[in-house]
Structure 1
């Protein structure tokens, strides 16, 4: 009995010690729509189940444009969270340069991230001076046109197969009381749609010359002028959309109140929550049905430098978990995005995910907009398109002139 009593006391002490070392890990992000919440729930469930720690959800309502300043202010103000979402690219570069973000190089090397992450540009976007500062989580691409089968059936016209057919069908939808194009009234959505048109309706080299090379002459040229004309068409088609958030616009497509929406593959999560089937209830057109080229952008998690040793250790466990094959599959199937690991089994992928995987497999992917321009340049472009889509009197020519000026001074 003495032995059993001793064993019981020792076991109780061990459990108490374990509980004392367990950390509550606050994780901030802007995933608040139905599909996004389901996806982030997979991360929280895996973290709580596989570690001795607890995921404390720090969702910030609104878009990344709303959330990022709050996240940055907390980190620079001395009240950092344990982990935070940013997009792949340059959004956190000043925080890294200021020494406020944790170096994850040892975790990346232990997990062989350089060998399994595809495309390699995603890990490159996390790397500064040879050190890894973020954990890539998914691959999101903006270049998708989502189409409602119900809307086109109600209007008595075929579901479009490309951008030109989409524009041509707009009068029939309007006559049936259906909004041709759903679009929220936020700069990131509007500038995002413009960039999708640039990639999808022109050779991808034009996009790279404008945003990669910062070539103002190309930005002011005839090719980009075509895209501003397409943006004017989009402005007219979306003029009665009357929603603010991207998922509200997606819901118009889901319910057949709008014909289509230009939006990233995260929209797919909303269709899944609505129990709709790709190819039956809706159609997804990569590259607007014209150019099968995708941007390899997406989300990554950064880990602010903390003073507490236990929480710092828990950070490392989360960073490693994000690249776990099972977690990659569970999260991305709910999110509508593609895994950053090139070695996972996605047999459960739906029609739209398979289209994206096929394009990615060909290597026909280019860096994301956020990887090519600074946050300041991004905000200037977003502000321009807020004004352009709100003011029908702004001509495509006037908007292009301002755009070229921004590119001339871009960094």
Structure 2
């Protein structure tokens, strides 16, 4: 198994005795949800789990997901597992499963009827290996959104764009007025995410799947993908001066009218909501950049390390079941800005942007997330490429595309 190294955190799991009753447990839960909107959302999980008589012991990691994953893996492989942890849907936990370090929760999934409620079923498939289920999917997060500040465009006297091309065309007016056209945090996962949104929306679906699912290097080096790299160069120009790190700082610029827009996943809605901004009034949201309305079926799932403690194992099972209960799904996803994994719950309280996402999901206008198609190693190589591309304006789209094609050629 490929070892990931990071500092070890001390275990904080304990068992609390309850007089006259079976023991309840403190379960340490690791995740990387630390923005204001994310913290409000994870609080809904904690509240629901605490209502079972157990206790959610929060262990949030304030840093990029790839760093958090490295630390979590180090904890588990080092013999100091937490009670539960968040990863993205897809292939990130493959090595841990193969090493026998993660709990098989097939019995819980069957008892709860997940195969009848999880929509789309690809989310449950992403938790399944060799016919056994190892994680609880909790939401659908789609990257393919352009968030636009109505105030920023009104301040320069133009209509809020309705497509990516319109946004690119009016970017110089924003720049002249001292408004950042495109807000992008200076972290490679954000830059790669932006590129993947362009890939998912500016070329036919078969091109996206040929590259990421089939690992076709010829397609990656071809004319269709060249258009995507040209759009990425436009995005790089529009993002110059966006000297931020975190994605939520970039979202705050859009909320305050100091940036025209941001390409970011639907988790940005949690920040808009926390700030009291209203969809359709203060900001607009364009799924598929207003070009190809399609959503990726990425998102988050919780895994449960193998533990040698019956009380903790019972609490793990209660947590897994609680995460997908109807009320928990509604409360969490309304806060998080994501779509629920259950197809049988009422989300009439959802805002206009979430309603757009629900409609696209119902219509089946979805794509698999790249995390479901490529390994973390390949993702890391692509992240390195786009960190360099966005940092170095002298790197041509053609040179970047050639490196990208080489990465796809060796992808697993």
**TM-score normalized by the length of structure 1:** 0.95
Aligned residue for 1:360? 361
Q: Distance in 1 between matches of 2:113 and 2:40?
A: 28
How far 1:155 sits from its partner (Å)? 1.4
How far 1:136 sits from its partner (Å)? 0.3
Q: Distance in 1 between matches of 2:134 and 2:18?
A: 33
Aligned residue for 1:16? 19
Aligned residue for 1:318? 319
Instruction: Say yes or no: does 1:134 pair with 2:147.
Output: no
How far 1:126 sits from its partner (Å)? 0.2
Pairing 1:1-150 to 2, within 5 Å after superposition = 15-18=18-21, 21-49=23-51, 51-150=52-151
Instruction: Say yes or no: does 1:161 pair with 2:162.
Output: yes
Deviation readout 1:133-156 (Å, 9 max, x if unpaired): 000000000000000011111111
Pairing 1:12-411 to 2, within 5 Å after superposition = 15-18=18-21, 21-49=23-51, 51-411=52-412
Deviation readout 1:286-312 (Å, 9 max, x if unpaired): 000000111111000000000111001
Q: Distance in 2 between matches of 1:211 and 1:292?
A: 19
Q: Distance in 2 between matches of 1:335 and 1:202?
A: 29
Q: Distance in 1 between matches of 2:319 and 2:18?
A: 22
Q: Distance in 1 between matches of 2:93 and 2:20?
A: 36
How far 1:204 sits from its partner (Å)? 1.3
Q: Distance in 2 between matches of 1:400 and 1:111?
A: 46
Q: Distance in 2 between matches of 1:393 and 1:162?
A: 27
How far 1:110 sits from its partner (Å)? 0.4
Q: Distance in 1 between matches of 2:398 and 2:376?
A: 25
How far 1:62 sits from its partner (Å)? 1.3
Q: Distance in 2 between matches of 1:15 and 1:66?
A: 37
How far 1:366 sits from its partner (Å)? 1.3
Report if aligned partners of 2:18, 2:24 keep a CA contact under 8 Å in 1: no
Q: Distance in 1 between matches of 2:146 and 2:192?
A: 15
Q: What SS does the aligned partner of 2:19 have? A: helix
How far 1:15 sits from its partner (Å)? 5.0
Deviation readout 1:244-268 (Å, 9 max, x if unpaired): 0100110110111100000000000
Deviation readout 1:98-138 (Å, 9 max, x if unpaired): 00000000000001101100000000000000000000000
Structure 1 runs not aligned, ≥5 long: 1-13
Q: Distance in 2 between matches of 1:311 and 1:108?
A: 18
Q: How many residues matched?
A: 396
Q: Distance in 1 between matches of 2:20 and 2:87?
A: 34
Larger radius of gyration: 1
Q: What SS does the aligned partner of 2:286 have? A: strand
Q: Distance in 1 between matches of 2:206 and 2:299?
A: 21
Q: What SS does the aligned partner of 2:72 have? A: helix
Q: Distance in 1 between matches of 2:246 and 2:313?
A: 35
How far 1:65 sits from its partner (Å)? 1.6
Q: Distance in 2 between matches of 1:90 and 1:305?
A: 19
Q: Distance in 1 between matches of 2:210 and 2:121?
A: 21
Q: Distance in 2 between matches of 1:53 and 1:381?
A: 41
Q: Distance in 2 between matches of 1:266 and 1:257?
A: 20
How far 1:29 sits from its partner (Å)? 0.2
Q: What SS does the aligned partner of 2:357 have? A: helix
Q: Distance in 1 between matches of 2:254 and 2:293?
A: 22
Q: Distance in 2 between matches of 1:405 and 1:315?
A: 42
RMSD: 0.9
Report if aligned partners of 2:31, 2:85 keep a CA contact under 8 Å in 1: yes
Q: Distance in 2 between matches of 1:121 and 1:17?
A: 43
How far 1:203 sits from its partner (Å)? 1.0
Deviation readout 1:142-181 (Å, 9 max, x if unpaired): 0000000111111111100000000001011011100000
Report if aligned partners of 2:84, 2:305 keep a CA contact under 8 Å in 1: yes
How far 1:17 sits from its partner (Å)? 3.7
More helix by share: 1
Aligned residue for 2:3? none
Q: Distance in 1 between matches of 2:63 and 2:170?
A: 32
How far 1:41 sits from its partner (Å)? 0.2
**TM-score normalized by the length of structure 2:** 0.95
Q: Distance in 2 between matches of 1:27 and 1:204?
A: 37
Structure 2 runs not aligned, ≥5 long: 1-16
Q: What SS does the aligned partner of 1:195 have? A: helix
Q: Distance in 2 between matches of 1:386 and 1:15?
A: 52
